[in-house]
Amino acid sequence: MSPLLAALLLIGLLHGAPVAPPSTLASAPLAGAALAPDGWVYPVGPPGGPVDVVNGFDPPEQLWSAGHRGVDLAATAGTEVRAAGTGTVTYAALLAGRGVVVIDHGSLRTTYEPVAPSVSVGDEVGAGRPIGTLESTGSHCAPATCLHWGAREGERYTDPLALVGDGPVRLLPLGPRTLTGAPPPPPSKPPASGGLAWPVATPRITSPYGMRVHPITGEHKLHDGTDLAAACGAPIRAAAAGRVTDAGDRGAYGLQLSIDHGRIRGAPLTTSYSHLSAFSATAGRSVRAGQVIGRAGSTGLSTGCHLHFMLYAAGRVADPVPWLPRPSTATSYLAKATREGYRR
């Protein structure tokens, strides 16, 4: 099949072209799978969950607008991908360089990509039956891998997690996209003493954590961190001691570095530092509190040099400011760090 024909076929499928309803399936649901009340399972990970959600459902207001029309589920390349529900395979081939599988469930269609298909068009599958293996090429989460799982009823996109009853999921921190609904409640009350130090020498908040209209996209969405004024090339410091878990180009976040601090004041904390111009630390490296880990910049979706500082407390995005000392305390802390030779 030519790429053009494949593209036209998939467009027709996704826009509601008539497809023969599935008949009684020869393959029953996966034995022992934990099914949702309506017989649905997660396509990767344990059939009954939990799953790790890298990017949540963020549909566009208009069909042609930008948005995230499904969910991205973390998994490693080569992972078995399963049919989320009973249906008929209506597409299983390459599209725009990535493997795509589409399953028709009657009034709803689900899509899976990037997948190396092990099924063919016309195959009838039961919930939980293997349909292929996850590939790294074309991943929404590059350089990591994840499965993009979508669902559509006619012309309307729908959250595929609703098919499994919004069961046990874990929203992974530091993904390339973020929440667009109301901010989640903090997992615990921040300690009165703070627990973190400001990552810039002279703290000045230019855009706080919370709902706002994005200055570039115009979307009303959660600003999942605190923007701090920082001149281009200014040193950015670790807010606490910990281990660098990631450092790379993260799309809209630009050059982003993440640090796992373990437990601070009883809560597991992770911080991230975005829009950097350069890194001064690498993944796997242990860093001290106040140590320079990078330089301020304007990489990614940014209007100018600054630091986008994020905090995950107990695995959930949170306002970092309550965990930070008053600016005067932060300034004296950084002065002390400098005297101790952290400025390199």
1 pLDDT more than 70: no
Q: What phi, psi does 40 have (nearest 5°)?
A: -105, 155
| Rounded (to 5) percent helix, strand, coil in the chain | 10, 35, 55
Q: What is the distance of C-alpha 176 from the center of its chain? A: 5
* 177, pLDDT greater than 60: no
Domains of the chain: 3-171 (2.70.70.10), 205-339 (2.70.70.10)
Residues 292, 239 contacting (CB under 8 angstroms): no
Integer angstrom CA distances of residue 157 from 14, 57, 69, 172: 10, 9, 6, 23
Task: Look at residue 172 in the predicted model and tell me its pLDDT.
Answer: 46
**pLDDT computed for residue 184 by the predictor:** 45
pLDDT of 170 over the 70 cut = no
Radius of gyration of the chain (CA): 23
Locate tokens 């040099």: which residue?
305
Largest distance between two CA atoms of the chain: 74
Range with the poorest average pLDDT among 137-151, 159-173, 256-270, 322-336: 322-336
181 pLDDT band (50/70/90 cuts)? very low
In angstroms, the CA 105 to CA 141 distance is 27
Question: Tell me: the pLDDT tens digits for 278-295?
Answer: 999 999 999 999 999 999
Could you give the percent of the chain with pLDDT greater than 90? 42
- Residue 68: predicted pLDDT: 62
Q: Which residues contact 290 (CB under 8 A, 6 or more apart)?
A: 197, 237, 238, 333, 334, 336, 337, 340, 342
3-state secondary structure (DSSP) of residue 63? coil
CB-based contact 192:269 (threshold 8 Å): no
Q: What is the pLDDT of residue 218?
A: 72
| pLDDT the model gives residue 43 | 94
Q: What pLDDT shows up at residue 38?
A: 57
Does pLDDT of 15 surpass 80? no
Of 10-14, 36-40, 57-61, 222-226, give the lowest mean pLDDT range: 10-14
What's the chain's average pLDDT? 77
**What's the pLDDT score for residue 166?**
53
Cβ distance 265 to 282 under 8 Å? no
pLDDT at 8 over 50: no
- 21-25, 68-72, 92-96, 303-307: segment of lowest average pLDDT: 21-25
What one-character-per-residue DSSP string does 182-243 give?
SPPPPSSPPPTT-S---SSSS--EEE-SEEEE-TTT--EEEE-SEEEE--TT-EEE-SSSEE
- pLDDT over threshold 70, residue 207: yes
Q: What is the pLDDT of residue 194?
A: 62
Quote the pLDDT of residue 252.
86
Q: What is the pLDDT of residues 218-265, one digit of tens each?
A: 777 788 899 999 999 999 999 999 999 999 998 889 999 999 999 988
For 84, which DSSP code? S
State residue 60's pLDDT score.
58
Q: Where do we find the tokens 């004024």?
A: 229
pTM of the shown model: 0.45
Q: How confident is the model at residue 119 (pLDDT cuts 50, 70, 90)?
A: very high
